[in-house]
Amino acid sequence: MFLFRNVHSLVKEIIDNEEYIEQTIKKLSNDTSSKDINYSIFAKAIAAGDLFKNILGPKGMDKILQYKMSDEPDASQLFITNDRATILSKIDDDNQMAKVLDISKLQYDKFGDGRTSVIVLAIELLRQMEILLAKKIHPQTIITGWQKATNEALTVLEGIAKNNSSNLVHFKTDLINISRTTFTSNILQGKKEHFSKLCVYAILKLHDEIDLKHIQIIKHLGHNLSDSYLEEGFLLTNCIGINMPKCIENARILIANIPLNTDKIKETGSSICVDSSTKVTELELSEKEKMKDIVEKILQYNCNVFINRESIYNYFEQLLVEKGITAIQYTDFPSIQRLAQILSGDILSTFNISSDNIHFGKCNLIEEILIGEDKFVKFSGVAKGEICTIVLFSNTQEILDEVEQSIHDVLCVLSKIIKEPRICYGGASEDESLVIESFASALQQLPAIIAQNTGYYSIELITNLCDAHISGKSTFGLDIEKGIIADMVQLGIFESFDLKRQVVIRAREAVETILRNNNII
C-alpha cells in the first residue's frame, strides 16, 4: 500500500519540479519540428499518469488519499481507495493531464471498466512518442503511423475473439468468467464466484431489454457479505398501509405525486380560533368530506393499488380500505420515478385527468416482505419483462458502498457483452501479438506493469510470454497467482472484446490530443 500525503501536493510537486521539465525539454530540444509543443503539458501528462501504474491489474495497490475540504488547516479528509475515477478527480483542476486524459472517462461511462488501462497505455505511448520526436519524426507522421497500428491491433483482436452466444451453457460460463475477471475490489477476495453468479443471473433476467435500471441494488447493514442474494422483482423501501392486504395479484396501479392534505391550517402550521366545540366538529366534517371527494376521484380510475409520494392520513386510508384499494405512501421521488418507468405507468400530478389519457402501472404480484427488520414492498411480473434486485449485506457502510460500485461496473461490462458477445482472453494474451514496433512497445508495458504490481520478475515473464506467442500459443497470458505463463482458456480469464478494442482506441485518441496541442491560448 502506498501512502500519498496529498494528491494535490504530490501532483504539484511532480509538475512544478523544474528539473524534471527541463530534462524533458532538453531531450526534445533537437527536434525542430516540435519546438512549439507545450512541454509542460507533456511532462504533466507523464508525471500524473504514473500515479495510476501501480493500481493496474487485479493485484493493484490501494491508495491512501488525503485532500483538503476547505482552506481551514484541519479541514481534510482521509480515505483508502483504488478507484481510478476518485484518484483522477482529486488532481488539481489546472492540471492539463486531468483534462486531456479524461477521455478515459468515456471508456468508464460506456463499459464500466478499462479506465486504468486507457491511462497507462496512453502514458506508455507518450514515452514512445518522446523517443520518436527525438529522432525528428514529425508529429503528424506519428499520428498517421499509430492510426495504422491501431487498425492492425484491432485486426489481431478480431482474429482471436470468440463468440459462444449460440451455446447458452458456454455463454453463461463466459459471462461468469468475465465477471470474475472484472471484479478488482480487494474486499471481494474469496467471494468473487458468489458475486459473479449474482451479476450474471441478474443480467440474464433482462432478456432482450438490456436496461440496468431494471436491476436494483439495495444495501442493508447487518449479516455477512456472503449472505447477499438476488431477489426476484423490484423492491420499494416502504410498507403497505394498515389493515390492507399484504398480497395483491394482477395489480392495476395508480401512481401519483399529489398532496392529499386540503387542510391549509395543518399544512402551514397556522392556528384558528373558534368559540364552540360545534364549529370544531364542523371543520372536521368538512375535512372528511373533502377526503371522500378525493377517494371518489380515485375510484373513477378503477385501480386496486394507489401509490402516492405524499402522505396519506389514517381516515383517508380507512376510506380506501372500504373501497378495496391498497395504498402505499411516503415514497421518495427518485424511487417513484424508477417504479413508474419499470411498471410502464404515468405519475399523476392532478386527478382532473381522464383515465383514457394515462397509463396505469401493471404487475402480476405485489407483496410486503421483510429483509432483516426492514419492510419492503415487492413488485414482480411487470409488463416490460423481468426485473430483479441484488440485496447486499455488510456490517459497515463503506464496504457496502464499494461493493455496490464494483457490482455496477461488472453489470455495465456484462450489458455490453450481451450486445457484443465476442470475448478475448485476458492476462495480456492479446497484447503481445501486436508487432508494430513503437505501438507494440507501449502495449508490452501493460503486462509488464501488471507483473510488477503482482511482485514477480516482469522481464522473465514477458520474455516467456513473447516466446509462447511466437510458438503459436496465442491464448497464453500471465497467471498472476503462480507467477507463470499459462493458458487463459483453462484458467477461465476472459475479457470483453469490445472493451479491449475501446481501450486501444481511447488511449491512442488521448495521446493524439496531447500531440496535436502546440500551444495554450
- Residue 44 structural domain: 2-162+425-516
pTM of the model: 0.67
Domain boundary pick from 385, 400, 433: 385
CB neighbours of residue 293 within 10 Å: 11
State the CATH number of the domain containing residue 406: 3.30.260.10
Co-location of 360 and 289 in the same domain: yes
Co-location of 297 and 409 in the same domain: no
24: in domain? yes
Co-location of 261 and 375 in the same domain: yes
Secondary structure percentages of the chain, helix, strand, coil, to 5:
50, 20, 30
Domain boundary pick from 373, 402, 420: 420
Following DSSP, what letter does each residue of 394-427 receive, concatenated?
Answer: ESSHHHHHHHHHHHHHHHHHHHHHHHS-EEEE-T
Written as nine digits, the cell of 383 is: 409488463
Co-location of 214 and 199 in the same domain: yes
181: in domain? yes
Co-location of 296 and 191 in the same domain: no
Co-location of 318 and 170 in the same domain: no
Co-location of 265 and 339 in the same domain: yes
State the CATH number of the domain containing residue 148: 1.10.560.10
**46 with 127: CB under 8 angstroms?**
yes
Co-location of 370 and 246 in the same domain: yes
521: in domain? no
Co-location of 477 and 512 in the same domain: yes
CB neighbours of residue 113 within 10 Å: 23
128: in domain? yes
Written as nine digits, the cell of 467 is: 516466446
Helix (H, G, I), strand (E, B) or coil at 161: coil
Q: What is the mean pLDDT of each run of 10 residues along the chain (521 residues)?
A: 36 43 46 47 68 68 66 63 62 54 62 71 79 76 80 80 83 86 75 89 79 85 88 85 86 86 56 72 79 86 87 82 85 82 86 85 89 87 78 87 86 84 66 52 78 76 81 81 84 81 79 62 40
Phi, psi of 60 (to 5 degrees): -60, 150
pLDDT of residue 392: 92
Co-location of 226 and 214 in the same domain: yes
Co-location of 123 and 240 in the same domain: no
**196 with 180: CB under 8 angstroms?**
yes
State the CATH number of the domain containing residue 336: 3.50.7.10
Co-location of 178 and 104 in the same domain: no
Name the domain count of the chain. 3
**4 with 64: CB under 8 angstroms?**
yes
Question: Distance (Å, rounded) from C-alpha 328 to C-alpha 379?
Answer: 12
61: in domain? yes
